[in-house]
Structure 1
Amino acid sequence: MASLHTAFLPLFLHICLLSWSAWAKVEVTMHESVEVYLDDSAQIPCQYSFTDANNEPSFVMIQWFVRGEGSSSRVRIFYLDGQERIADNDTDYTGRINVTSDQQGAQLTILNVQVSDEREFFCQVNGLAAGNAEGKTHLRVFAPPEAPVIEGVQTGISVTNELPSKVASCEARNGFPKPNITWYRNGMPLIPAPGYVKVLMLVTQDEKRFSSLQSTLEYKVVKEDKDAHFSCEVSFFVPGAIRTVESSSINITVHYPTTMVELWKDSPQGLVKEGDTVELRCQGDGNPPPPFIFNREQEQDVELESSGDVLILSPVSRKDSGIYQCRPLDTDGYSEVKGEMQLTVHYLDPAVVVPKDSEVMLKGEDLTATCNALSSLKTSTVWYKNGQQVGKGNTLHLRDATYDTSGEYVCEVTVPSLPALHTSGSVHIIVQGGPQMVGVEQEVQLEEAAGRMVNLSCEAQGHPLPSISWNIIGSQNWQEVVIKANEHMTHSVVSVKVTSDVSALCNASNDMGTEVKAFSIKAIPRLTSTAPFSPAEGSGVIIVVIILCLLLLAILGSVLYFLHKKGKIPCGRSGKQEITKEKTTKDDIVVEMKSNTKTEDTVLLKAVNGDKKGPNEQ
């Protein structure tokens, strides 16, 4: 009986299940995929329901499965029913998963998601009489790669290469899933094109399934790429989006031939004069900069010695003026491309003055002096005498020459546009003529008390240098106390003792003539009294005597002066004076006077107004 019961129970349950299946049916709903970042937690929900809500089973069993890595088999990782919740042991998810449930479903939580967790997860629901149903969700894991690193080629790339050349490489490391790399030139994407752009990709994967991508750009460069900037951009998937990260930009070195050359004067600034050091610099648009060769247009076969791109000319002269050229010496050899410039070396020759050195002219004559200096630029000429400007221009006119006209005339020639250029010349003018007394008075009248000493001064100029002599009438007691002479003038001073009326003549003479200056000294007698007298008795007599004396002296002086003019009276000196020069300078002559008197003493006279007594008073 017991065995019959045991055999009948499964059949009964089967019949019950069949009957219940007619009453209700289970349905499972899951997301197609769930996306999550690496190391985050993933929640995979599993919702179920029954077709007949009034006949829901009282017992529901849920099992979670995962598809094996690299296979089609499935492995159960979790089991739960109304009373038990069991995580399977010895699986990849033991200790990392948790399941929560309610009457509508269950949710699987995976902690610390790894790349290896990107699989399909299955939720299976068993509702007894309602039957079985399951759903699946694909778990997607995302790991952003590191920032891209770009590296350009270190060597230059020539535009003459026929095929694209390697320009740069870009690497994005440790991303999941595999990232992608795009190349840019000046912010514009480079599209692969045969013969112009070629992109090579290399993908590597480590044991953790992280992908690293290395991209190489091959590009046919042109001259304009010398200023271009290249960069790479990595794009990668993240949950619900696509993100990009751009690398830094690089500039490549492009080699191209020289197509244009410029030559200019680097120094000195401004105009060039003889004696300067000139630097000519040559520059082309080729890269790398080629060496240059220099030459002059009129001597193209003669290569000038230079240093790289600089030609130094030192010191320059006017013969260095001309057109200079420079040419690049590219790897392909001699180039027809050239740069050229005109170099002008300015000059100023020494001044030529006519008349030269010195010129003698007669008093009253006119003279024209010229000063010229050959120059490559416009000049300016100014004449100076004693530091004062006396003329301007190449020609100096001297009219109605006087002794003041004599002297040195200097002409200075300058170049206004190039002040460093200047020269000068000079001419010495000598005015020749007879003596000319200094001062406007030709006759000087004086009055002096008898017995006093009077100094008479006489100064004359002329060329040749005049000599001065004295004729003195009315005094035997006189002497020359000063005699001075310089290049243009003679100065003499005599000291005369007034004993009576004196007439003195200063005679200045040279080969061109004679000039005389006269001095007239009226002696005033000194009055003395020997006895007292009454003013009432003697005043009239004294007045009459004084008047008579004055008249007599005036008449006597007039007669003597008249006789002297007529030559009736000889020189008042009994003998001739002999002048011996002891020391002579340009501006001062001190003389020794010898007189044919009994004593024949020698007197050294140094002052114009000295109070020395003549030999006759010793």
Structure 2
Amino acid sequence: MAVRDAASPLLLGLLCLLHTWGARASVEVNMEDKVEVFLGDTAQITCMFKSDDFGGSGGMTLEWYYIKSTKDTQRIYSQDSLQSTVDKNTPYSDRITVGTTGTAGEVVLTIRDVQLSDDEVAFNCYVKIIGEGSGEGSTKLKVFKTPEDPTIQGVEQGISVSDEVKRVASCEVKNGYPKPKITWYRDKMPLHNIPDAVKVDHRVTTQSSGLFSVNSDLDMKVEKKDKDAVFYCEVTFLVPGAEKMLESNSINITVFYPPTSVNLWVESPEGKVKEGDTVEFLCASDGNSESQYFTINNNDGRSLKMENVTRHNSGVYQCTVDDYENSVNLSANTTLFVNYLDEVVIKPTGSVSVDWKKEFSATCNALSSLSTSTTWFKDGKEVEKGHHLNLKAVTYDTAGTYVCVVTVPDIQAMQANASLQLTVQGPPEIIEKQLTEKETNERELELTCHIRSFPTPNITWGTSNGKIISSSNHMTDVGAKSVAKVQVNITSNTTVFCNASNEFGKDSVTYVIKFRSYGVIIAVIIICILLLAILGSVLYFLYKKGKICNRSGKKDFTKEKSSKDKIVVEMKSDNTEEAILLGVNGEKQLPNDQ
């Protein structure tokens, strides 16, 4: 039963206008063939109608129907000049409204929350004007749903090259509407069914929601070139007003194929190999097969590592590959040469003694598989280049350790060395040859004498009067410096000699020592002061006794008052602290009477 609603003022006005025109003419209805919309969105279907003559006096009726098939047709809306009605108990009772666009002769059916069940449903607009006739039009609703991104899965195990068509990968796309389409690509080129070469199989599944999922399998006869090929699937699908595309991720497949060649090489070290290196061989074929078996000089595996190689490891090395599944046997060779540098030989060897001012020469060499360079060093400094060391007029400065270093320029860090100890023997040579003067005020003085000599010299200390102070024999190093020390007792200016001698000669140095005894001078000054003090006391005593400088007109009371000649000082303890001098015989005297 229909529900009667009050017609919208605009729509009622339109119907009244058409009624008052009253012209007798046919009614023309125009509608779009289809309206496309995404699932869940709102669809709007427009019905446009007009009459040849709007002058008639009849009324107008508007009705909407949905048509799924000839057996499934139902009115969903009706309207006349007085009221509008949305029919109950239809799939659209709760989802439709009807209105106008504001233009005469245009009515819009709005369908909310479009469902998959609305797809391919035709919506008819029926218009009847009394006294003029009727007309109708139809629009089909198309519903779309964008599918999920496609997924691709390659076969986990490798595929052997053969004449058989084998599964390569599978592709799936879910929840699209209408049904999506899958196309396979290899290196951006589409793949289609080719008998005995390529097979593409599609399977469409309708979900409970009504959406479509599509699975596609790609089977191929795999070739060797497919080892580097890139495979992916492309999904095309419809959307309102267009066609769109989604691509899956790209994958590679593992292809097994028999080898046709094999190669063996030294992986490390780079460049020339020398004794002591760790050498690693690698072997590889151009095949890719699970049944390949490698050996290098009867050692299983694709690699061979040898540590601390010597020249005896030089030779030809062979790698063999056997592919039993494909009945293939291949081999390859490479030559290893281990370069060497023998120990350095110096002639003469060990420790050598050379007479002072004489010439000395030595040779140094080492056998090697490559060209060498030789350099002589002493104390870390280069002294000669080449195999020969030539020294002229050797001195004690020439003595020391000589190191011969032999290097191979073509190989970094390839070198060897040996050393020679050179001793120069000759007469003593005292370093301080000039006259040495020293001043001191000490009673003892330590003197030092530096001598270069080999063999060890006899060192004697003596004075100018021929007295031997000390005899010593100290060598700190063969061919280096001797250091002699002596303690000399000093009482006056002294001359001391350091004499050094050995079987080749002698040498000496003189030390002139000037003694400055400041202690004796001070003692003499003190004695003089004491003597002056004693002399002053005696003179004063004699003066007091009148033995000297006797004063005229005065009586000598020395004998009479000798027992009473005392000077007494009396101290008063009162606050004035007055001092009264007591004269001879205890008489008081004022200070100015003294």
Output the TM-score relative to the length of structure 2: 0.59
Tell me by how many angstroms 1:383 deviates.
Answer: 5.1
Tell me by how many angstroms 1:293 deviates.
Answer: 1.4
Q: Which residue of 2 aligns with 1:98?
A: 97
Q: Do the aligned partners of residues 64 and 415 (structure 1) sit closer, same or farther apart at CA in structure 2, a change above 3 Å counting?
A: closer
Q: Which residue of 2 aligns with 1:311?
A: 304
Q: Do the aligned partners of residues 421 and 391 (structure 1) sit closer, same or farther apart at CA in structure 2, a change above 3 Å counting?
A: closer
Tell me by how many angstroms 1:380 deviates.
Answer: 3.1
Residues 163-215 of structure 1: per-residue CA shift (max 9 Å, x gap): 34323222222222212122233434334433443321111223443222222
How far apart, in 2, do the equivalents of 1:332 and 1:315 lie?
38
SS at match of 1:342: strand
| Structure 2 counterparts to residues 22-171 of structure 1, below 5 A | 24-54=25-55, 56-68=56-68, 71-100=70-99, 104=105, 106-117=107-118, 118-158=120-160, 160-171=161-172
Q: Which residue of 1 aligns with 2:590?
A: none
Contact 2:144-2:239 within 8 A present in 1 as well: yes
Contact 2:428-2:502 within 8 A present in 1 as well: no
Q: Do the aligned partners of residues 461 and 31 (structure 1) sit closer, same or farther apart at CA in structure 2, a change above 3 Å counting?
A: closer
Tell me by how many angstroms 1:333 deviates.
Answer: 6.7
Tell me by how many angstroms 1:320 deviates.
Answer: 0.5
| Structure 2 counterparts to residues 574-593 of structure 1, below 5 A | none
Residues 121-145 of structure 1: per-residue CA shift (max 9 Å, x gap): 2233344444444332222222222
How far apart, in 2, do the equivalents of 1:488 and 1:85 lie?
133
| Structure 2 counterparts to residues 43-442 of structure 1, below 5 A | 43-54=44-55, 56-68=56-68, 71-100=70-99, 104=105, 106-117=107-118, 118-158=120-160, 160-259=161-260, 261-287=262-288, 292-295=294-297, 303=298, 305=299, 308-330=301-323, 332=325, 337-338=330-331, 340-354=333-347, 370-382=363-375, 392-395=385-388, 411-416=404-409, 417-424=411-418, 426=420
Residues 552-601 of structure 1: per-residue CA shift (max 9 Å, x gap): xxxxxxxxxxxxxxxxxxxxxxxxxxxxxxxxxxxxxxxxxxxxxxxxxx
RMSD: 4.8
Q: Which runs of 5+ in 1 are unaligned?
A: 1-20, 296-302, 440-458, 468-476, 492-506, 510-514, 518-618
Contact 1:121-1:139 within 8 A present in 2 as well: yes
Q: Do the aligned partners of residues 402 and 131 (structure 1) sit closer, same or farther apart at CA in structure 2, a change above 3 Å counting?
A: closer
Residues 63-92 of structure 1: per-residue CA shift (max 9 Å, x gap): 3322245x5442222232223423333222
Residues 439-463 of structure 1: per-residue CA shift (max 9 Å, x gap): 9xxxxxxxxxxxxxxxxxxx99999
Contact 1:415-1:422 within 8 A present in 2 as well: no
Q: Which residue of 2 aligns with 1:18?
A: none
Aligned length: 438
Tell me by how many angstroms 1:422 deviates.
Answer: 0.4
In the alignment, residue 155 of structure 1 is paired with which amino acid? Q
Contact 2:356-2:424 within 8 A present in 1 as well: no
Q: Which residue of 2 aligns with 1:16?
A: none
How far apart, in 1, do the equivalents of 2:174 and 2:66 lie?
29
Q: Which residue of 1 aligns with 2:518?
A: none
Contact 2:41-2:113 within 8 A present in 1 as well: yes
Contact 1:378-1:415 within 8 A present in 2 as well: yes
Contact 2:44-2:110 within 8 A present in 1 as well: yes
Contact 2:58-2:131 within 8 A present in 1 as well: no
In the alignment, residue 99 of structure 1 is paired with which amino acid? V
Residues 380-426 of structure 1: per-residue CA shift (max 9 Å, x gap): 33456898876543345688999999998765444344434304265
User: Identity of counterpart residues, as a percentage?
Assistant: 42
How far apart, in 1, do the equivalents of 2:210 and 2:377 lie?
101
Tell me by how many angstroms 1:240 deviates.
Answer: 1.9
Range 244-253 or range 286-295, more displaced: 286-295
Tell me by how many angstroms 1:291 deviates.
Answer: 5.3
Q: Do the aligned partners of residues 335 and 361 (structure 1) sit closer, same or farther apart at CA in structure 2, a change above 3 Å counting?
A: farther
How far apart, in 2, do the equivalents of 1:408 and 1:133 lie?
126
Q: Do the aligned partners of residues 342 and 72 (structure 1) sit closer, same or farther apart at CA in structure 2, a change above 3 Å counting?
A: same
SS at match of 1:250: coil
Tell me by how many angstroms 1:316 deviates.
Answer: 1.3
